[in-house]
Amino acid sequence: MHKESQDSLVGQEYEVEVGPVAHGGHCVARTESGRVLFVRHALPGERVVARVTEGESTSRFLRADAVEVLEASKDRVEAPCPFAGPGKCGGCDWQHAKPGAQRRFKGEVVAEQLKRLAGLTPEEAGWDGTVMPAPGDKVPAGEVPAWRTRVQYAIDAEGHAGLRKHRSHEVQVIDRCLIAAPGVTELGVEKREWPQIASVEAIAATGSADRQVVLTPKPGGRLPIVELDKPVSVLRVGEKDQRVHRVHGRPFVREVAAGRTWRVAEGGFWQVHPKAADLLVEAVMQGLMPRKGDMALDLYCGVGLFAGALGERVGDKGAVLGIESGKRAVEDARHNLQDLERVRIEHGKVEQVLPRTRIDSADIIVLDPPRAGAGKQTVQHLASLGARRIAYVACDPAALARDLNYFAEAGYKPVTLRAFDLFPMTHHVECVAILKPTGNRV
């Protein structure tokens, strides 16, 4: 459709056949000259006009948006959210796809990452290839489950709340986020102005009425008086030290999952889907099959979710060690699990703390590392402990596959893998892999 130049290609358009889905919420296409395009807002098998959003004539690949659909896929629906689409909010990747197709795409991505980075087929990973929705999330095409219990709003120069555009600091002002849980929507963040504020995090706890707003002022900004429609605690992120300070109400929310109540302080990490904590605990416990008297490790333990479930199962003759790098999360975990005398929580990075413990064996291990994964050094250390089963909880299939490859080198292989769609309308997918030692352990 045009002759390529030696400078920026942003704004140039190509008519392309859309190929397979790729990790990151886009599909792969190629121009007539063979240049690779990563195209958002398209679906496999479609013919679209793709407009370049990033890239130069010397780039290995270009990023683009499908701005016109010439031949639509049967999986396409009209995006329910008016703020979803090219150049708009970057939060949802698949609003233009039927829910079943979204889960199929995620399964294809997981399978591709396993094959490319770990050399595993789904069958070799113990996976049937399906991505399961959370209970209650099966909705008709054209509808959106309201699941997100924590929403980070960006504030534009005029003080209006919105969400970031894809790979941009630009703010798409919105009047409602369709995937936000009812408890978040009820706070009415989008309906008021936020002068001198850079961002607002709205939190609606699961299983309790706790609501929280975390405000980050602009440099030199003054904290406004916050009067929301619902009783809510308000926290402020410090301008200089980035610490969170209480302004009004409790400095924590109470989340309910796995038969316990969990204190999560100062906007700390908790699963954003209301069913996620229960689903993941169930999957991990079914895979590990803890026994009375087991020595268990919970690595990257957060506020103690898996450590608590393990502690209740290993009993008085067992023991659980949790390791977490976030200081406040450690404080919360110790508070949450104070009734379990055989559970100990240590503060620090896993790769630093675990060697210092001088633990040379463990019966079962669960790890829920950050998006980058655990890494080769930590995997090798875990494999040396001789656990009969290891549960790996992953929010990124690429990191999971890389670490599974390291585990294979160290003598562990996955025997089951389950994938859950805990982030509907986005490209994210959660996996739980259960590993056992092979006969070739080193």
Residues marked active site are found at 395
Dist. CA 383–CA 210, nearest whole Å:
41
Amino acid code (one letter) for 384: S
3-state secondary structure the chain: CCCCCCCECCCCEEEEEEEEEECCCEEEEECCCCCEEEEECCCCCCEEEEEEEECECCCCEEEEEEEEEEECCCCECCCCCCCECCCCECCCCCCCECHHHHHHHHHHHHHHHHHHHHCCCCCCCCCCCCEEECCCCCCCCCCCCCCECEEEEEECCCCCEEEEECCCCCEEECCCCCCECHHHHCCCHHHCCCCCEEEEEEEECCCCCCEEEEEEECCCCCCCCCCCCCCCEEEEECCCCCCEEEEECCCEEEEEECCEEEEEECCCCCCCCCCHHHHHHHHHHHHHCCCCCCEEEEECCCCCHHHHHHHHHHCCCCEEEEEECCHHHHHHHHHHCCCCCCEEEEECCHHHHHHHHCCCCCCEEEECCCCCCCCHHHHHHHHCCCCCEEEEEECCHHHHHHHHHHHHHCCEEEEEEEEEECCCCCCCCEEEEEEEECCCCC
Nearest CA-CA partner of 401 in 66, 95, 113: 113
* Cα–Cα dist 439/197, whole Å: 58
Which residues is 59 bridged to in the sheet? none
Tokens representing 136? 């209650």
